[in-house]
Structure 1
Amino acid sequence: MPTVPVCCFGEALIDFLQDPAQPDLFRRYAGGAPANVAVAVARLGGQSHFLGMLGQDLFGDFLHQQLVSYGVNCELVRFTSDAKTALAFVALNQDGDRSFSFYRPPSADLLYRAEHCPAAFWLQPGILHLCSNSLTTPDIAATSFSLIQQARQHGWLISVDANLRHNLWACGQADRVLVRQLVQQADLVKLGEDELRYLADEQADTDWIRQLLAGQARWVLVTAGAAEVCSYSRAGHFVQQVTAVQVKDSTAAGDAFVGAWLYQLAEAIRQGQALDNCLVSLHWQQQLVQGAIKAGSFTCMSYGAFAALPDRQQWLAAQNS
């Protein structure tokens, strides 16, 4: 069977990560949530594409080189001189948890438009992955929903990681209505427990999840940091515990988790399994969640985003440990 591409749309940016030993020193790493997911899939051996706009600057060149070097297909990456590549300064506490200071907007990733992606790209079905960071201005939100529409028309699965970064929004808080609209169009949804509470708003968390599953969603995963992952699908609900590891930097842990989840789904589809048939098996779901957890945990043990993501051998070894 042909490979099933995982196409990640959104921001690629530079993470300037604080050096724990020298707090005044920040080191450059390639990052950005959708770009991290694309690299995670490629590192595991999957076919991944990145859709996005980079600045015609040294940081844009660095990101493009890094994506290509890790095996991500960048044919749909575009460059612009109208804005610079986005930057994020990441401070770490003693537990490896992080706080972000973003230099965005204006930034190049917000200038990507649906017409930058040729219609022929969607003819081979795959998985389109997005997050809420590509909703923060009206134009990039319109692009996101247009890409979803095109992908859906050609039988693609839609994956959404809420990945709420409230300080990226002009008002200092994510547009709950708009993010809910994005999540409600997804087949596959990943949320942190704090994101679930924010988006459910006055509804009970489980009621809102049931509402998602009664609509487009087929599988919803809710992560609780280093504690557990809660899985919800039409087949039922289960909780998977997370084994503790020594955390150095959790910057890309969630993206590694999503990348491994989508890689495993793409592999199942490539092997001829229909997603709906797979989702009737809680045992199958548990296996995929455990694989995703191992990828996320491995990533926490190193600094940076792209650089910390496991390759296939490392991931398999982690699952056997």
Structure 2
Amino acid sequence: MMDVTALGELLIDFVHKGNNEFGSPIMHGNPGGAPCNFLCALASCGEKTAFIGKVGDDAFGHMLKKTLDTHGIDTTGLVIDPSVFTTLAFVTLDETGDRTFSFARKPGADTMLRPDEVRDEQLANTRVFHFGTLSMTNEPARSATKQAVEKARQNGAMITFDPNYRAPLWNSEEEAKEQILWGIRHCDVLKISKEELELVFQQNVEQGAETLLENGVKLAFVTLGKNGVYAKNRQASTTSPAFLELKTVDTTGAGDIFGGSAVYGVLASGKAPETLTEDDLQKICQFANAMAGLSTTRSGGITSVPKKQEAIAYLQQSGLWA
């Protein structure tokens, strides 16, 4: 039995690291993909994790498999397909470490995962099943994702969802909103950004969080960038500030690492997400903010995930935890 299984994209993030002597950009390649960043945070906290997805039978694909293996993430569900190339993302950072994206993905291997390539036994043997919308931009991966979500739910898994909206990958904003709303209505625990919430519901954070609960979400984490996170269930709500004193180098994967760490906090509490108290939510958010914040002090997505003990030590040094 796995603690957490995620389905979605596994790719190479190429990050701009300045220019060479001729003025040409220097790009550093790092393993990435939101679901895998999410899983790495959980694996770092000691959870048993597994990934379902597709890469190409190329140097990048084999490097990515090796990376997941090294981080202790089960790759039984990773399909290596010789007919497509591994997806590549190109990330440009501004002076604050914030990102803009472009993709080599027409098609990319991650979009070509078929429903019949997802193993039923993986969906039947996990406590939590996680997904995002990058696997819902194109067929056949969209059908594979939705079928997997429904099967995992039928088997009693907690469903977690992070839209991870990337405008360049969608045919239209309306299509993206439709698929994000499907995800919201099929999950128990949601991590969503303030901007994504406004995109879907055109509401402020508090109103939007209430609408999320009305749509069936049991626990919502709304990330607020430098303002931290707002968390809400039917029992309580809380806002937890970000750790702005940390020196940001690269924000790639920080939201995913927050999400994985928050789900770890929910699992570690031993409580159903809808029953967590304000104190529970505050502790979970502090831990997830620390994990995400520490990840921004180093480069990459998967490669930037801190150890659980690093976050605990940071919280103790900050005086937030005893």
TM-score by length of 2: 0.92
The secondary structure found in structure 1 opposite 2:256 is: helix
* Compared CA separation, residues 176 and 25, structure 1 to 2 (3 A): same
The secondary structure found in structure 2 opposite 1:17 is: strand
The worse-fitting range, judged by mean Cα deviation, of 120-129 and 205-214 is: 205-214
Match of 2:213 in 1: 213
Match of 1:16 in 2: 14
RMSD: 1.8
The worse-fitting range, judged by mean Cα deviation, of 36-45 and 167-176 is: 167-176
Cα distance between partner residues in 1 of 2:197 and 2:110:
26
Aligned letter for 1:124?
A: N
5+ residue gaps in structure 2? 318-322
Aligned letter for 2:7?
A: F
5+ residue gaps in structure 1? none
**What's the offset of the Cα at 1:123?**
2.9
Cα distance between partner residues in 2 of 1:60 and 1:190:
28
Cα distance between partner residues in 2 of 1:170 and 1:299:
32
1:182-261 equivalences in 2 (<5 Å): 182-201=183-202, 206-244=206-244, 245-261=246-262
Contact 1:220 1:233 in 2 (8 A): yes
Match of 1:92 in 2: 93
The secondary structure found in structure 1 opposite 2:250 is: coil
Cα distance between partner residues in 1 of 2:103 and 2:198:
24
Contact 1:6 1:266 in 2 (8 A): no
Cα distance between partner residues in 2 of 1:224 and 1:304:
21
Which deviations, in whole Å up to 9, do the C-alpha atoms of 1:218-260 show, x marking residues without a partner?
1111111121211111012221111202110001110110111
Establish whether residue 290 from structure 1 lines up as the match of residue 290 from structure 2: no
Cα distance between partner residues in 2 of 1:252 and 1:299:
8
Cα distance between partner residues in 2 of 1:178 and 1:255:
19
Match of 1:302 in 2: 298
The secondary structure found in structure 1 opposite 2:225 is: coil
Establish whether residue 318 from structure 1 lines up as the match of residue 307 from structure 2: no
* Compared CA separation, residues 173 and 20, structure 1 to 2 (3 A): farther
Q: How many residues align?
A: 313
Aligned letter for 1:78?
A: V
Cα distance between partner residues in 2 of 1:200 and 1:172:
13
The worse-fitting range, judged by mean Cα deviation, of 7-16 and 37-46 is: 37-46
Contact 2:8 2:135 in 1 (8 A): yes
1:35-184 equivalences in 2 (<5 Å): 35-171=36-172, 175-184=176-185
TM-score by length of 1: 0.92
Give every structure 1 segment of 4 or more consecutive aligned residues whose post-TM-superposition deviation is greater than 6 Å.
none
Identity %: 27
